[in-house]
Amino acid sequence: AAFRFFRVVYPSHVWLQDGFTYAVIIPILWLISILFLLPVHVWHDIQLMPTESICVLAIHSARGFIWSTIVIYGLPMNIISIIYFQLARFMRRPPLPTSARAKRDVIVARRIVLVVFVLILAGAPSVVLELMLPFTDVGKPLFYRISNMTIVIAMIALSCMLVYVTPQVKEILMRIGKQHQVVPTYSQPRFGLPVTTTKR
């Protein structure tokens, strides 16, 4: 997504389109995400829940919930908003002669932003409960069940949206569907030929 975004909006920055740049940036982003979540471990906010048999953020930890919500949902939402804003500005520019590849990249980048936005909306109920739990008991008994359900829904939505984002996958699925499609054939009867029947 970032590759297509920079290739469309900033085509003059060649180094942003180099594969080596992303080979360096991706591990750095992984490292940053791990570092962002280290405070939750340092604060010992992750505990074993006997009723769920998993290690999760403790319900009574307001600090851990707020920090994880900012890192997991707040930062991605801000980044997605910036990307969408830049794409909107690019699309509103006066029409210039652009290549078919650039137009295709704009469509794909907008689809990717839409997919991520849908996934974040799928996790919105869990975020609301996270912000409410430290201050109220509403939804506390079912919090982890609701969180797991939202994750499953998000994964199903992601699987369905990938077909929309990737035209190649859609073409492959349509080709497979056509191969397994049964087409009825009708044979016209021939008149003038004797019809023989056998009796048993």
Predicted confidence (pLDDT) per residue in 79-125, tens digit: 877 877 777 777 666 655 556 666 666 776 677 777 777 777 777 77
The total number of structural domains that make up the chain: 1
Give the Cα separation of 121 and 113 in Å (integer).
12
In a domain, 83, yes or no: yes
In a domain, 186, yes or no: no
In a domain, 174, yes or no: no
In a domain, 57, yes or no: yes
H helix intervals, the chain: 2-9, 19-42, 62-69, 75-91, 100-122, 124-132, 143-165, 167-179
Which two structure tokens, joined as six digits, stand for 171?
């073409």
Cβ neighbours of 99 (radius 10 Å): 9
Cβ neighbours of 6 (radius 10 Å): 20
* Beta-carbon-side half-sphere exposure of residue 198 (alpha carbons within 13 Å): 1
Any bridge partners for residue 56, and if so which?
A: 47
In a domain, 120, yes or no: yes
How does pLDDT run along the chain (200 residues), one tens digit per residue? 666 677 767 777 778 777 788 788 889 988 988 898 888 888 888 888 777 677 877 777 778 878 887 887 788 778 877 877 777 777 666 655 556 666 666 776 677 777 777 777 777 777 777 777 767 766 667 777 777 787 788 778 777 777 766 666 667 777 777 766 655 555 555 555 454 444 44
Residue 199 has a pLDDT of 47
Domain carrying residue 68 = 2-169
pTM beyond 0.85: no
- The one-letter code for the residue type at 90 is F
Which two structure tokens, joined as six digits, stand for 68?
């994880």
Give the Cα separation of 42 and 39 in Å (integer).
5
Collapsing DSSP to helix, strand or coil, 48 comes out as strand
